[in-house]
Structure 1
């Protein structure tokens, strides 16, 4: 199966609203945080799913990218075309 590619607009649809999964992107990889206890209703420490959170992860988060290995990868973030 081909890897799904998300634009920023498409990723924004997976923000925790409604029945869709909760996704966020880090370093161009889109992760599913739907079932992560840390992401209740698509929110984690004030950050909303549906966005590229690379800057927040590396500049604010105490755990940096160590937690990413535990999250399912669902695709890649691509530039607007």
Structure 2
């Protein structure tokens, strides 16, 4: 699987680049097609970031990432 830096991830925020990516536990997921992440924002969360520490506040579990394509690893 391809690796990406935090800086490369940060650009995939739905604004600087059209892709909407987030990382969770070192894996990067493409959320571009998610209707809940339009414009790179989902409630108070922003795309282009590692959301590992933020998931504890979410009303869902990490199983939500099973719906999306894992496209890389965060280095």
- TM-score, normalisation: structure 2: 0.92
Q: Which runs of 5+ in 1 are unaligned?
A: none
- What TM-score comes out, normalization by structure 1 length? 0.86
How far apart, CA to CA, are the structure 2 residues paired with 1:50 and 1:36?
14
What CA RMSD, in Å, does the superposition of the two structures yield over aligned residues?
Answer: 1.1
Deviation by residue 1:14-33 (Cα, 9 ceiling, x = unmatched): 01114431100000000001
Alignment size in residue pairs:
75
Q: Give the ranges of 4+ consecutive aligned residues of structure 1 lying more than 2 Å apart after TM superposition.
A: none
Larger Rg: 1
